[in-house]
Amino acid sequence: MIAPDLTVSIPDTIRTVHFIGIGGSGVSGLARMFLAAGVPVSGSDRSESQNTRDLAELGATVTIGHDASNLPDNADAVVYTGAIWPENPEFLRAKQLGMAVLHRSQALRYLIGTHRLVSVAGAHGKTTSTGMIVTALAQLGADPNYVNGGVIQALGASSGTGADDLFVIEADESDGTFLTYDTSIALITNVDADHLDHYGSHDAFDDAFVQFAEEASEAVVISSDDPGAVRVGARLTHSRVLTFGEAEDAGVRVSDITEQGPVAFRVEYAGRGADVQLQVPGRHNAINATGAIAVLLSLGYALSDAARAVSSFGGTVRRFELHGIESGVSVYDDYAHHPTEVAAALQAARSVVGEGRIIALHQPHTYSRTQLMSAEFARTLEDLADHTVVLDVYGAREDPIPGVTGALVSDAFDDEGRVSYVPDWQAAAERAAAVARDGDFIITLGCGDVYRIIPQVLGALRGDESA
């Protein structure tokens, strides 16, 4: 992992830009924004993906594999993420040439400029909440700029340029860079401690969110239910704080949540109420939508209009996304990579699976999180899935830690008959298919590359010999 060096000066004008890791969920959105602005874009990634193919079709020069020769001599800026290794040859070459080597957060700051900024932060729910706000704004006739961590279904993209002054972003707290933006309205979905490899302690994690909220120039929208958010909220001195959630004293209160199928609920604010019917399942999405409505209220929209507009949200890619049905078994994918997110995804699945069972295909993400939270993952999976197949750890930016494998999760199950540790992907796909029967759900869980196993799972359900 490369720690962001935010002391590097951002050029006043970027006429050409090169991205290291251009296919990433966040970086690909930035690349789209530069292309839309007419800036020539080049970039590289370790493997081909839909993002790299889409960017190439849009005019970017994309190379698969990292090599110093990929770096254009005339790049005004080279953008990287913390996910690359310090010895990346393009990163080292750009440093050697004295180029402006910018962390992705700095490239985003360049794009934001002086726009009025809505920043969405929190350990969970950022991508969905951002997608809800952007979708609703479009329904309300606005034309915002936005950069999200996932593709918004209704818009078909993770980023977009608009004619309005408003800019909506998913603000990443993992490395502290969410504190570098000049935020107007801050939405805090929750403060569930994560990324302690960066922060070092729960207190430091809380401190960062307090700073993020206090520096918002217009308003803070924060959960009334999440214990961490309540801790942070109690410390705020901001003049305009709007809480949201199920708590009796929430400023924007959600109630009467109906979870069977697409979630429905009632939301109330300042003596007025509105009923909302979403297109996506899950209690957590009722809460996310209420936070999005609270942001829209802070932007000056009426409750009835905000509730209607949020109802149009159709989901984001890799958030409880159906990929196919074979032999009566529905195969879903979800980005969940923290126990709280896994719980939300499985509860959403339970609300729509009916009499069927849930088979989870879990890919632990990062060695440090697996080492720290393996028992919590096991409890969540054992409580909420009928059977779990555990893959090996997706290391992402981290070096392996001796003894830390997916077996840490499977070994922590109380009922060993409810879990299988299968590091080989083909064998894992076949195991999940063998357990499943007509009416069941298989759901892949993780923010690494676990979604790539889905064709093997569908093939195994069909009985393909080469699945």
Which contiguous run of DSSP H or E holds residue 244?
A: strand 241-245
- Whether residue 282 is annotated as binding a ligand: the answer is no
- Whether residue 124 is annotated as binding a ligand: the answer is yes
Backbone angles phi, psi at 168, to 5 degrees: -115, 130
**Catalytic member of 90, 170, 173, 259:** 170
CB atoms within 10 A of CB 227: 11
- Whether residue 125 is annotated as binding a ligand: the answer is yes
- Whether residue 324 is annotated as binding a ligand: the answer is no
- Whether residue 18 is annotated as binding a ligand: the answer is no
Active-site annotation holds for 177: no
Q: Label residue 367 exposed, middle or buried (CB < 10 Å: 0-12, 13-18, 19+).
A: buried
Helices (H), 385-453: 407-411, 425-435
DSSP one-letter code for 288:
H
Q: In the chain, count of helices (H) and strands (E)?
A: 15, 21
User: CA–CA separation, 353 vs 437, rounded Å?
Assistant: 12
Active-site annotation holds for 170: yes
**Catalytic member of 52, 81, 126, 316:** 126
For 434-446, the DSSP string reads: HH--TT-EEEEE-
Q: Label residue 312 exposed, middle or buried (CB < 10 Å: 0-12, 13-18, 19+).
A: middle
Exposure string (b/e) for 179-189, b if CB count within 10 Å is 16 or more?
A: bebebbbbbbb
Which residues pair with residue 455 across a beta bridge? none
CA distance between the termini of the chain: 34
Q: Which amino acid is at 326?
A: E
Exposure string (b/e) for 326-365, b if CB count within 10 Å is 16 or more?
A: beebbbbbbbbbbbbbbbbbbbbbbbbbeebbbbbbbbbb
**Catalytic member of 52, 81, 127, 135:** 127
Active-site annotation holds for 370: no
CB atoms within 10 A of CB 254: 25
> Which residues does the annotation mark as catalytic?
126-127, 170
Annotated binding site: 122-128
Annotated binding site for ATP: 122-128
